[in-house]
Amino acid sequence: MKKTYRIIVQTLLLMAFLLSGTPSQAEDRVQLRVTNPFENKTPVAVPAFHIAAASDHEKELATQAVTLLQETLAFTGYFRMVNPEAFLEAPSQTGITEQDIHFDRWRSSGAELLVTGSLTVSGQAIIGDFYLYDIFRQKSLFGVRLRGAGSPDENLRPLILKLADKIMVTYSGKHGFFGSRIAFVSKGSSTPKEIWTCDFDGYKPAQLTRNKAITLTPAWSPDGSKIAYTSYVNDKPDIFVQGAWPGARRDIVTAKGTTNITPAWLPDGQMMAASLTIEGDQAIYLLTQKGKIRKRLTRKWGKWGIDVSPVFSPSGDRMAFVSKRSGSPQIYIKNLNNGRIERLTFDGKYNTSPAWSPTGDQMAYAGFKDGHFDIHVMDVRGGRPMQLTLGTGDNETPSWSPDGSLIVFSSTRKGKSSIYVMNAYGTDQRQLVSLPGEQTAPVWSSNLNQ
Amino acid sequence: MISGGNDNQLMSEINVTPFVDVMLVLLIIFMVAAPMMTQGVDVSLPEAPSGSLSRDDDEPFYITLKSGGEIFLNDFPVDADRLRPKLTALLKERPGTRVFLRADKAISYGTVIRVMAEIKGSGVEKLGMVTEPLETK
């Protein structure tokens, strides 16, 4: 009797022990979800900007301003626009200053922030008075007067982008990316690949290089004034530097070596790094903009030690690059202070195009898995990569926005390759430019005019 | 009895009491440790001073039908044919908000039903009718 009782107790304890282990393991997987700040977007209402005694053209300007501000705020991923149908007040009757704002009406409409303002066009200048209100706290967050000298049509966009940046700074404490531009490679049906640039939101794409030869891998100088790239102008790949405006002069950086590719800038904007073959093997060198070699950064690694695609951490103390030293292309990080090299990626057999986040702690890259390239992000100290794209063709060459909130990349999800943008957690993926031909290798500049 | 009180014979079964004790201690250790073993990806999120505020969901929409036939959504006048899209858009912004209908008693029953159909058609789940308490002498 006593014996059976003991056996029952033993079995029960063992079962309890086993059961206590399993459910918590199952829970672990569920809890791997990352909290995404872009999931709960802040609803913003932008009813209308008033424009006094206006002509039809000026009224049209005010409407354009509202649309542009709505699109720009929505583009950041932090905000969503309250549907004008849900307004409980005629936009033309919305007050501008605090005492005229019916906070209760906007709260009923579900808005958390409200932007009001007025535009004044006088001759060759445009002046905007804008206000941002916190609907729940029923108070003004800022009132600002912005000026744009010159033709109102041309200055409306910079004026509204300044306003958007002011809203971003108030909202998140950080500057946005509204002064930044994106460079990319575009190939027409009969023309070779050339470098194009457009605004951060894909506005006004324009061809930059007219090399009439394959031109690849653009890299912005840290201040955004110049672009370095690889081009086959001299029938072999060489590095060039060119001002970031159409018609700027092109200067050759490297002449020696047969394969000189993938230029990158150091954060100081003076020195560059590139993958050169001046000593026979493909290795990364530190060089001046005039092409003077300062230092070899990766040492010879047998027959297969191909090192390409250097990219520097924001502080410039570390360099990430792609190397085939272990047999397959993988991303490595070299500490430039002590010269130590560590392998970063171990997941998958083909990981390329590293992009160091402006915050310095994340690395985005394109990894080959299950027959496709997809964008991954991982901690620069190592760990598990987070896959951001899935099942949408090949997604390659990621590049971060200057505030680190968005990632631009190329994708073949609609057949031909084009430029897409998503936020740093992989949501809100959308096409940035729609141009004929194929677009690849987008790179995001810093904020140019701030 | 041959074996009675014989101490020289070997005990044939294991003493489980210390085993049970050890298992109990282990069980408690694992029960305490299990919630601590949960993993998560460490991310630094941007700070937003005016981020998510708790929304006062107890702020219903009032639809008022005046004796003259005018329709008001809160204090905003709406045409009868604009009521449904407006309410649909509002409920998309604030899902699950209650709607109260306040109809003047002079309004015909048919008009009230028509407006109610519009409200129901916009996907309102909670519709309430507002009445005055009956005056007793």
Task: Write the pLDDT tens digit of every residue in B61-85.
Answer: 888 888 888 888 888 888 888 889 9
CA distances from A90 to A84, A109, A216, B83 (A): 9, 12, 51, 15
Confidence bin at B52 (pLDDT 50/70/90): very low
- Regarding whether A383 and A271 lie in a shared domain, the answer is yes
Contacts of B47 in chain A (CB under 8 A): 172-173
Angle (nearest 5°) at CA A357 between A355 and A363: 55
| Beta strand B127-129 pairing with B99-103 | parallel
- For residue A327, the 8-state DSSP code is S
In a domain, A449, yes or no: no
Q: Which residue's structure tokens are 């809100």?
A: A428
> Looking at the structure, do residues A114 and A262 belong to the same domain, yes or no?
no
Closest CA to A446 of A238, A76, A70, A176: A176
CA terminus-to-terminus distance, chain A: 86
With CB atoms and an 8 Å threshold, state whether B40 touches A89: no
Chain B residues in contact with A5 (beta carbon < 8 A)? none
For A69, residues 6+ apart whose C-beta sits below 8 A from its C-beta are A46, A115, A160, A163, A164
**The predicted structure's pLDDT at residue B54:** 42
Q: How far apart are CA A381 and CA A105, in angstroms?
A: 49
The Cα angle at residue B58 between residues B55 and B62, in degrees rounded to 5: 120
CATH of the domain at A77: 3.40.50.10070
User: Which of A7, A24, A105, A362 is the best residue to mutate to test the B interface, defined by the most B CB atoms within 10 Å of its own CB?
Assistant: A24
Task: Say whether A113 and B50 touch across the interface (CB within 8 A).
Answer: yes
- CA A166, A169, A171, A174 dihedral sign is positive
Residue ending a domain, choose from A121, A140, A172: A172
Q: A2, A36, A442, A40: which is closest to A201 by C-alpha? A: A442
Residue A128 within any structural domain of the chain:
yes
Alpha carbon distance B114, B91 (integer Å): 19
A13 and B93 within 8 Å at the Cβ level: the answer is no
Per-residue pLDDT of A403-446, as tens digits, reads: 999 999 999 999 999 999 999 999 899 999 999 999 999 999 99
Could you tell me if A115 and A48 lie in one domain? yes
**A77–chain B nearest CA distance, Å:** 13
Contact A107, A40 (CB under 8 A): no
SS3 of A195-208: the string is EEEEECCCCCCEEC
The Cα–Cα gap between A88 and B75 comes to: 8
Q: What percent of chain B has pLDDT over 70?
A: 74
Cβ of B48 within 8 Å of Cβ of A35? The answer is no
Dihedral sign for Cα A199, A205, A207, A209, please: positive
pLDDT at A15: 65
Q: B86 at the A interface (CB within 8 A)?
A: yes
Residue contact B59–A16, C-beta within 8 A: no
**pLDDT-based confidence at B95, cuts 50/70/90?**
confident
Give the number of domains in chain A.
2
A140 and A189 belong to one structural domain: no
A25: tokens are 């393991």
Interchain CB distance below 8 Å, B48 and A171: yes
Q: Are residues A163 and A302 in the same domain?
A: no
Same-domain pairing of A157 and A198:
no
The verdict on A106 and A153 lying in the same domain is yes
Chain length of chain B: 137
Q: What is the pLDDT of residue A27?
A: 37
Q: Which residues of chain A have pLDDT under 50?
A: 21-33, 450
- Residue A197 is assigned to a structural domain of this protein: yes
- Please tell me which residue of chain B has the smallest CA distance to A14: B23
The verdict on residue A194 lying in a domain is yes
- What is the model's pLDDT at position A397? 95
- Can you tell me whether residue A56 is helix, strand or coil? helix
Among residues A143, A150, A113, which one has the least CA distance to residue A128? A143
Of A172, A191, A218, the residue at which a domain comes to its end is A172
DSSP assignment letter at A142: E
Q: Where are the domains of chain B?
A: 79-137
My answer on whether A329 and A206 are in the same domain is: yes
This complex has an ipTM of: 0.70
Task: Show the domain range for A85.
Answer: 42-172
Q: Which residue of B has its CA nearest to A384?
A: B41
What is each CA distance from A238 to A176, A312, A323, in whole angstroms?
Answer: 34, 21, 20
What is the 8-class DSSP label of residue A189?
S
At residue A363, what is the residue type? Answer: M
Rounded Cα distance between B103 and B111, Å, is 9
Q: Do A167 and A192 sit in the same domain of this protein?
A: no
Among candidate residues A155, A172, A189, the one where a domain is terminated: A172
DSSP assignments along A345-398, one per residue: --SSS-EEEEEE-TTSSEEEEEEEETTEEEEEEEETT----EE---SSS-EEEE
A311 shares a domain with A286: yes
Same domain, A55 and A199: no
In a domain, A82, yes or no: yes
Contacts of B107 (CB under 8 A, 6+ apart): B65, B67, B69
- A333 and A267 in a single domain? The answer is yes
| Nearest residue to B76 (alpha-carbon basis) of B16, B89, A202 | B89
Are the C-beta atoms of residues A200 and A177 closer than 8 Å to each other? Answer: yes
Given this model, what pLDDT does residue A255 score? 77
pLDDT value of position A242: 94
In the chain, the amino acid numbered A105 is: R
